[in-house]
Amino acid sequence: MDWISVGRVTRVHGLKGELKFFPSDQDDVTVQKDQRIRLGETQFKIESVRGANSPFIIKFDGISSIEAAKNLTGQEVLVAREDFETLPDGEYYRFEIEGLEAYDDTGKYYGVVEEVIATGSNDVYAVRSEGKEWLVPMIDSVVQTIDLEQGKLIFHCVEGLFEDTPV
């Protein structure tokens, strides 16, 4: 089973086994009551999640004391890939984009998308290879194709995007 990191539990909250949960990326994170998660090698079911903003207060089935909760602090919260909701066509989770091979529309290979940077208006994909980095904005005029099955992202090199394109 493929598990995706969605955040971290950092410390206990109260005396009844609740923990503070900080999502790693709030746009993608959907943890909810009755969802199964994994901390380390142990699987839990979420008993409750509350709070409007990060950090959220999360409680797991079977964890009912401060002592039991303390043993879980600092651990990464993982959700099974198949538990993520299916997104509409043309929308992707950030973890689906990371790891794609990036090519321009002429077939030139640039590297791998190693990071998705959230900005105010659109995401920017950090493509890295052999000590170089390119920042590809996720806008329609630049990103042409995202093919998850083939593991490819194809973009159009607009003027000034890279140092070797004329301005």
Same domain, residue pair 12 and 73: yes
Residue 166: per-residue pLDDT: 45
How far does CA 6 lie from the centroid of its chain?
A: 6
In this structure, what is the dihedral angle of CA atoms 149, 99, 6, 143, given to the nearest 10 degrees? -80
Question: How does pLDDT run across 118-136, given as a tens digit for each residue?
Answer: 888 889 999 999 999 999 9
Read off φ and ψ for residue 95, nearest 5 degrees. -65, -20
Check the CA dihedral 27-29-31-35 and report its sign. positive
Residue 27: per-residue pLDDT: 57
Highest mean pLDDT among 27-31, 116-120, 147-151: 147-151
d(CA 7, CA 122): 22
Same domain, residue pair 31 and 76: yes
Q: Which CATH number does the domain housing residue 151 bear? A: 2.30.30.240
Q: Whole domain around residue 43: which residue ranges? A: 3-83
- Any domain includes 109: yes
Average pLDDT over residues 65-90: 91
List, in sequence order, every residue forming a beta bridge with 77; answer none if it has no partner: 7, 39
Q: 52: Cβ–Cβ under 8 A, 6 or more apart, which residues?
A: none
Residue 167: per-residue pLDDT: 37
- Any domain includes 161: no
Indicate the residue among 34, 64, 83 that finishes a domain.
83
Residue 160: per-residue pLDDT: 74
